[in-house]
Amino acid sequence: MSYQILDQTNRRQLAEALRNDTWVVACLCANWCGSCREYDAAFRAWAERYPQHHFVWIDIEDQADLVGELDIDNFPTLLMERGATVAFFGPMEPDTRLAERLLLAQMEKSDAELQREAISSAERRSWQQDCSLLDKLADVIG
């Protein structure tokens, strides 16, 4: 299983997953959030079902320097990224079934389809500019 709780010491693991074109599913949460704490077990179970992908738990307060100015309105918020392409960014119900269907739908798309969607609207273009974990981890990759 490829699952990590992001901290200052293991950012390279996340950067390498993105650099290797692995699907990354990031849960952006906060330790004080009850919904996030409840979602954690379901998120880990989801990660166990998809060991070929990289699942990462990011506490937005502990990792504020990485998260930066991301607009996180509700918890949990998910970010799905492959390489430098953000396929989804937004709040999700604290149930992984819908998120899993969303990931499966993204995985079926070709690179060309993902790229077309990435620039298809102002919102999606802003995801590429503001949300890319690969870009945010550029200093780790070197």
Q: Confidence class of residue 73 from pLDDT cuts 50, 70 and 90?
A: confident
Region 35-61: mean pLDDT is: 94
pLDDT at 19: 92
Domain span at residue 53?
3-140
The CATH number linked to 107 is 3.40.30.10
Report the number of distinct structural domains present in the chain.
1
3-state DSSP assignment of residue 25? strand
The phi, psi pair for 86, rounded to 5°, reads -85, 115
Q: Using one digit for the tens of pLDDT, what is the confidence trace for 92-110?
A: 988 899 999 999 999 999 9
The pTM (predicted TM-score) of the whole model is 0.94
Q: Confidence class of residue 6 from pLDDT cuts 50, 70 and 90?
A: very high
